Chains A and B, each alone.
Chain A
């Protein structure tokens, strides 16, 4: 699609869980190559927002357009998912498969790539996340940090244009956080468009082009990390930052 149209356009997005409104009139444009960090208190709708982008949650009203494809029907959802990779807090690796099989399942079954080609690609991405030697192990034999890096490599094997990260380091022991963040920074430096939900403010300063602060299902404030950390405009954002930066 044309390079000057946004990678993601979200407008007037509303999402309900029963009679609880999880997203209220959310608007967000993400440019190609832009790195967005989303933060906000627990339950503010961060996960719901990014899960709507690849249709893991169906939204109730508003529009989502990804790389020029408007999310209208099942066909469009398939096309959008093909462009969007996702990394989960709990890794969600397939425990019954080896690392290599985790990486090649999508390319072989969904993209019909020949096995040898899929494996070559998988090994290339395992190199990239710095664990090629673990290819024949099962997920349970790896540390949390290694598992999350495998999950990132698994997404990359589908060659997405956009990556979504939902608190990729929240389930990790502190000493493993940086090995995962380094990989994400690496991707960011390569120009990958990404939305990262995280409370790692050091990472946000290093990698984000723009910060998005959410509370109670709404985007309260956006801005460059510079603005955001030094001069947050809203009261809620100031309070959130003071709480989070204490740790």
Chain B
């Protein structure tokens, strides 16, 4: 519903541009019926692979890291809780772009001073940054999901001899997953959008390619319009999946 209006507006702007004779619009740069336009479109669309791969790996790492951060964050012991709290507050406070620069340009230097000599390329630099930045949010998603499960479940598990990891694995997480998965999937949208920042360190994903084409073709309006549409399609597909997941999990819940 809410999406229809902006989509119609976009379509109208595009149509207006096609018929315009004032020369302000130049859809020919991405006109698939001409060889040059076709090549340009292919060049732009080829960024999908990198954006998606980057996002998926970063999300997987973030989900793992988030769980590792979240578990001690729920301890009854405040000294075990503390590092988790500090990590979350700290990471949430850092804007993505500075963190990206720090990881890409600074982290190799830090590692080198510890005798670890690795070069971090744009792909992994972006993944590490996105994963760390996002893990603060996934950690909070895990925490609220796990804490929504009645304390009696943990107690019952303890009285039948389960250890803490067993209690998590067999009793708490299978129940909490319904509260965790939909917001985690939603968080994936955040990663996809933030992956655009990888363009500034030279990662050849959607945004970087659009930028490069703009530099050679000098048609920013048309190219960036297409870029936005590319993200829109990607995010709408994920949103659709999230809604489906929410319905499915919600239906399970009421059983």
Contact = CB atoms under 8 A, between A and B. Distances in A.
A and B are interacting partners: yes
Interface of A: 54, 56, 81-82, 84-86, 88, 90, 92-96, 105-106, 109-111, 140, 151, 154-155, 157-158
**3 nearest A-B residue pairs (beta carbon):** A106-B160, A110-B161, A92-B156
Nearest to A78: B161
Contacts of B155: 56, 86, 88, 92
A88 B156 contact: yes
A154 to B, nearest CB: 6
A109 B152 contact: no
Given A94-B171, A96-B174, A106 B153 contact: no
B161 A111 contact: yes
A92 B153 contact: yes
B161 A158 contact: yes
A69 to B, nearest CB: 15
Contacts of B160: 105-106, 110, 154-155, 157-158
A90 B150 CA distance: 11
B152 A110 contact: no
Interface of B: 150, 152-153, 155-163, 166, 170-171, 174-175, 255
B170 A109 contact: yes
Given A105-B170, A109-B166, A86 B153 contact: no
A90 to B, nearest CB: 6
A10 B85 CA distance: 38
Contacts of A81: 158-159, 161
A110 B171 contact: no
Contacts of A82: 161
Contact of A96 (B157, B166, B175): B175
Contacts of A96: 174-175
Given A95-B175, A96-B175, A85 B159 contact: yes
A111 B192 CA distance: 45
A109 B162 contact: yes
**Of B153, B156, B174, which is in contact with the most chain A CB atoms at under 10 Å from its CB?**
B156
Contacts of A56: 155, 158-159
A11 B162 CA distance: 28
A201 B159 CA distance: 27
9 contacts: A84-B159, A86-B159, A88-B155, A92-B156, A94-B153, A94-B157, A110-B166, A154-B156, A154-B160
